[in-house]
Amino acid sequence: DPPPTIWNDERSSCDRCDLRLSCNCSYDGFTRVPVVTDRALTLDLSFNNITMVTVDDLTGHRQLRALSLHGNRLAVIHLSAFDSLWSLEELDLSDNQLTALNHKWFSKLGALQKLNLLNNPYSCLGSPPVFQGLARLRTLAFGGPALEELKIGDLSGVTQLEELTVHANNLTRYESGALADIWPLGRVTLSLHNPFLTNVPLASDVLSDVSYPETPLILEDLHLIGKETVQPLYASARRRVRYITLRNVFVSDEAIVNFLVVFNGVPLTCFSVDSVTLTGEGRWTPANWTYHKSFDEFFIRNIVVLDVFHFVSFLNLGFLLQYPRKVSLINGKAYVMPCQTSGLLKNLQYLDLSDNLLTDMTLKETLCGGHSPLTDLRVLNISGNALKSLSMVRWLVVKLSKLTHLDLSRNGYSSMPLSCSWPHTLRYLNISRAKLTAITPCLPTTLEVLDLSNNDLKNFYLVLPALRELYLSGNKFLSLPSGELFPNLQTLKIQSNTLNMFNRSDLQLYRRLQNLQAGQNKFVCSCDFVPFLQSVIKGHGDVYLTDEEESYVCDSPLYLQGEPVGQVRLSVVECHRVLFVSVSCGVALFVAILVCILLWRLHAFWYLKMTWAWLKAKRSSRRHRGRGDSEALLSFDAFVSYSERDASWVENFLVPELEEPRPRPLTLCLHKRDFLPGQWIVDNIMSAMERSRRTVFVLSENFVQSDWCRYELDFSHFWLFDGHAGRDAAILILLEPLSKDDIPKRFYKLRKLMGSTTYLEWPQEEERTGEFWRSLRNALRGEEDDD
């Protein structure tokens, strides 16, 4: 039978995990939960195409602390899919296709603290209660466009929350008290678009259950136009709620007036509006008879005013503006706040006009030309406008005698005056994200926090004795500014500059520095910098690097480019080059000496010397032959090699005996009489050997010990026994008993010849001399001895 078909259900893997075991597998197109290391602490699977979670997908992840499946197409979750996640603290299942919730998913998640179930197509929370057993749950978000019903008991098991978010824009059925059992309740966010418009009792019941005096209430996605749409807020007013935020709302001036009427006499402390569209005709009556002395903060951000020409003046709200101490108007496209309006803010201590359209001239109007009535102002934020003159700002704020914080960031300042006067109370100054190229003494010496990040600064030479925090990231510093300028500095951030390196002595100049962030620079990973920075990363020292270790990356040398400094390992060759060269030379010299000794013991030098000498002499001999000197060849019967100490024997016995006139006298070549004076000794020896039929070695102790004879014998040995002359060309005469062991070992052919060839010994008895001479003559003539 053919084998059964096996469906390919292999899971993909994801290895994008950092050193903190946080795995980011989002936007990877996974259709199933991928295989990830079971040591992962955080797993982000958001924005994939996962449709189900099986029982085995997350098995083994007992250490997992956070899991995000946000933004998938998740429709099916096995009842035991999360059972192994005993340590899970955060679970995000939002923006999926879950049509129903099951309590068994969460039954083993006893450590869960944050749960997000927003924007899934379930119409109710289901039964039995899905959150039963989640005693540690502190943040809960549920609901979506399909949620229609909330009943008493749906949140059973949830006893206290720090944050509750409910999206119920289409809620049609609500049992009063369904959300009332959660206490304490930290912050509540509600989306009740349709109930506010069509079902005021339902919206009022919901608000009544979650409104507490100290619980911030955030209402989203509202359309507040007339009086009726504001009525549900009476439930919150009756509960004396103190913090209300309207987010993503469309509101009219009439609705605002009715809002003030609803909260008349209520100790409302903070009123915030975020992402609001304002419409109407700018009519604020009859709000002027309401009482709101408790108002402390107005926060308005991202406001769009329709028919803006109807809202040219807020003087009619003067009764309201006199109370708050904090006012924020952020990204409202405001280009001026008239001086008359500024005068209404009698108690103002905090003013935020960031991300608007203020210019130097309109700011002058806002602050009443340097005579601002905002005498209690402590914090002024005018960042993100169209300001260009630092001198103008300085002149406008110098009389704000209580000003401690000034934010001028994200403006068009390109230069700084040489000198300036500031309020003596100023402690915090932010001029980041401008176009400054140089620092001048214009900066006040009273500063404790200075932010000059993201400018074009290259150096800093100003003494600021009180400074505790300095932010210089995103500039062009090549080195750390001298710590002697900042005797009290505790925090320095100088990331994303062009720093090459810094060392321990640089940091020691900062006497009180504790936190340093210097990553994302152009570090030269030298032998001094790398070990120093690695020790700082490990916490050895008084200064701590509080940014990511991975942000410290080598820029050079080229072969280390992109390597984290903490993982670089430099070799001894790179870091101790002089020592390495010295040791290497010493070792090389030692090895050379050992090699020389070995070569000397093996007589390699002798062979080299003889080879070179022979080659030189050979070339000389060929030149003579080339000139036709062949008649000079074989001029002697024998070349005699002997020691000078044996010269008497040669001259008194050998020469007379062999060269005396006889029928056949022999001609001998002796170095004393036949070598050409002024010619190189080797050439003489070579010439003598070439012109002689035989070579006679007169061997004795004197011969072996004589330096001259040994040299002559060296060369003769090399010539005679390397194949250029026959075996019978050498005749050995022993003047005294001499064994082959007395011959130097490098004359191995001569020693072999003595062991295999008969040699002549000079007889000690006189009667045997005749036989000796007869044998020698026969040997020289190449004849056999008859005896």
Of 381, 418, 424, give the one whose Cα is nearest residue 400.
424
Q: Is the dihedral of CA 323, 273, 178, 137 positive or negative?
A: negative
| Per-residue pLDDT band at 500 (split at 50, 70, 90) | very high
Residue 169 pLDDT: 96
Is the pLDDT assigned to residue 387 strictly greater than 90?
yes
pLDDT, the chain, mean = 87
Residues paired with residue 730 on neighbouring β-strands, in sequence order: 695
Average pLDDT over residues 571-586: 80
The pLDDT tens digits of the residues spanning 18-73 come to 888 999 999 999 999 999 999 999 999 999 999 999 999 999 899 999 999 999 99
Reported as half-sphere exposure (CB side, CA atoms, 13 A), residue 455 has a value of 27
Q: Which residues contact residue 674 at a Cβ distance below 8 angstroms, ignoring those fewer than 6 apart? A: 636, 688
Higher pLDDT, 532 or 407: 407
The verdict on whether omega for the bond into residue 338 sits within 30 degrees of 0, i.e. cis, is: no
Assess contact for 694 and 729: CB atoms under 8 A: yes
Choose from 161-170, 563-572, 657-666 the range with maximum mean pLDDT.
161-170
Is the pLDDT assigned to residue 757 strictly greater than 90?
no
Average pLDDT over residues 374-387: 96
Average pLDDT over residues 523-548: 87
Plot region of 221 (φ>0 → left; ψ -120 to 50 → alpha; else → beta): left
Is the pLDDT assigned to residue 78 strictly greater than 60?
yes
What distances in angstroms separate CA 62 from CA 77, 79, 97, 195, 619, one per listed residue?
A: 18, 17, 26, 43, 89
| Per-residue pLDDT band at 619 (split at 50, 70, 90) | low
| Per-residue pLDDT band at 518 (split at 50, 70, 90) | very high
Is the pLDDT assigned to residue 767 strictly greater than 50?
yes
Assess contact for 737 and 762: CB atoms under 8 A: no
| Per-residue pLDDT band at 3 (split at 50, 70, 90) | very low
Average pLDDT over residues 527-534: 90
Q: What are phi and psi of 709, to 5 degrees?
A: -65, -35
Is the pLDDT assigned to residue 77 strictly greater than 90?
yes
Assess contact for 279 and 308: CB atoms under 8 A: no
Q: What percentage of the chain carries pLDDT values higher than 90?
A: 59
Strand 730-734 and strand 66-68: the pairing is unpaired
Strand 52-53 and strand 217-220: the pairing is unpaired
Own/partner long-range contacts of 495-500 (Cβ < 8 Å, ≥24 apart): 495/519, 495/520, 495/521, 495/547, 495/551, 496/520, 496/521, 497/472, 497/473, 497/521, 498/522, 499/523, 500/524
Of 457, 416, 409, give the one whose Cα is nearest residue 433.
409
Give the integer Cα–Cα distance in Å for 93 and 410: 38
Residue 718 pLDDT: 60
Residue 177 pLDDT: 94
Q: What is the token pair recorded at 336?
A: 């001026």
Q: What percentage of the chain carries pLDDT values higher than 70?
A: 88
Is the pLDDT assigned to residue 430 strictly greater than 60?
yes
Assess contact for 563 and 530: CB atoms under 8 A: no
Average pLDDT over residues 455-466: 95
Residue 70 pLDDT: 97
The pLDDT tens digits of the residues spanning 314-357 come to 777 778 888 999 999 999 999 999 999 899 999 999 999 999 99
Q: What are phi and psi of 53, to 5 degrees?
A: -120, 115
Average pLDDT over residues 139-143: 97
| Per-residue pLDDT band at 8 (split at 50, 70, 90) | very low
What distances in angstroms separate CA 330 from CA 249, 302, 355, one per listed residue?
A: 16, 6, 6
CA 746 to chain CA centroid, Å, is 64
Residue 787 pLDDT: 37
Reported as half-sphere exposure (CB side, CA atoms, 13 A), residue 648 has a value of 2
Is the pLDDT assigned to residue 741 strictly greater than 80?
no
Question: Which stretch of DSSP H or E encloses residue 753?
Answer: helix 748-756
Is the pLDDT assigned to residue 435 strictly greater than 70?
yes
Is the pLDDT assigned to residue 573 strictly greater than 80?
no
Higher pLDDT, 314 or 522: 522
Give the integer Cα–Cα distance in Å for 202 and 149: 11
Is the pLDDT assigned to residue 286 strictly greater than 80?
no
Is the pLDDT assigned to residue 274 strictly greater than 90?
yes
Is the pLDDT assigned to residue 750 strictly greater than 70?
no
Q: What is the token pair recorded at 674?
A: 């036949």
Give the integer Cα–Cα distance in Å for 618 and 722: 13
| Per-residue pLDDT band at 764 (split at 50, 70, 90) | confident
Is the pLDDT assigned to residue 122 strictly greater than 70?
yes
Give the integer Cα–Cα distance in Å for 107 and 99: 19
Q: Which of 141-155, 508-522, 545-559, 683-697 has the lowest mean pLDDT?
A: 683-697
Assess contact for 537 and 543: CB atoms under 8 A: no
Helix and strand numbers (H, E) in the chain are 21, 34
The pLDDT tens digits of the residues spanning 681-726 come to 777 777 787 788 888 888 888 877 765 566 566 666 666 555 455 5
Reported as half-sphere exposure (CB side, CA atoms, 13 A), residue 524 has a value of 11
Q: What are phi and psi of 457, to 5 degrees?
A: -80, 145
DSSP characters over 583-597:
HHHHHHHHHHHHHHH
Assess contact for 409 and 384: CB atoms under 8 A: yes
CA 565 to chain CA centroid, Å, is 6
Of 137, 129, 128, give the one whose Cα is nearest residue 109.
137
Residue 784 pLDDT: 44
Average pLDDT over residues 592-611: 77
| Per-residue pLDDT band at 679 (split at 50, 70, 90) | confident
Is the pLDDT assigned to residue 7 strictly greater than 50?
no
| Per-residue pLDDT band at 123 (split at 50, 70, 90) | very high
| Per-residue pLDDT band at 539 (split at 50, 70, 90) | confident
